[in-house]
């Protein structure tokens, strides 16, 4: 990961973006190319700012018609708190994604959220591996 401080701007849904000088401590995404392009995936980063704060950023990307990318970030005091912010997110927190709220789509929606949770769990596992807890 980056060892020098660089300028970054991070988008936040429903709020102004934040900008800071920082370095990336962790970076992972679940995008893959397997035949046709994947329709939905996650991206996550943890930054350390030059001022000593930490930024946890996560993005839900979608190419699915009628859905929009979603941008989240939290500013915290420690790298452990940044990891906890990522861990606290659940794909089921995303509103208005997937199938219509109708009985015939219940199973398909549940399968979608199980798939998204597996992708998110991969990111969390990678975050914890790259940033081991200090004891």
Is 35's pLDDT higher than 60? no
pLDDT score for 73: 96
- Compute the mean pLDDT over every residue in the chain, rounded to the nearest whole number: 89
Higher per-residue confidence, 98 vs 72: 72
93 pLDDT band, cuts 50/70/90, is confident
Is 110's pLDDT higher than 80? yes
The closest of 68, 60, 64, 76 to 22, measured between CA atoms, is 76
pLDDT score for 37: 61
The closest of 40, 5, 38, 11 to 23, measured between CA atoms, is 5
pLDDT score for 2: 55
Is 34's pLDDT higher than 70? no
Q: Which residues contact 79 (CB under 8 A, 6 or more apart)?
A: 25, 46, 48, 54, 131
């Amino acid at each position: 990961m980056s060892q020098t401080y660089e300028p970054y701007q991070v988008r936040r849904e429903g709020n102004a973006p934040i900008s800071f000088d920082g370095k990336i401590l962790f970076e992972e995404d679940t995008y893959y190319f397997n035949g046709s392009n994947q329709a939905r995936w996650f991206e996550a980063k943890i930054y350390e700012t030059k001022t000593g704060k930490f930024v946890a950023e996560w993005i839900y990307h979608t190419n699915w018609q009628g859905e929009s990318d979603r941008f989240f970030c939290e500013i915290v005091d420690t790298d452990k708190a940044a990891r906890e912010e990522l861990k606290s997110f659940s794909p089921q927190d995303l509103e208005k994604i997937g199938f219509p709220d109708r009985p015939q789509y219940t199973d398909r929606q549940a399968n979608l959220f199980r798939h998204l949770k597996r992708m998110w769990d991969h990111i969390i596992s990678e975050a914890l591996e790259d940033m081991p807890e200090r004891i």
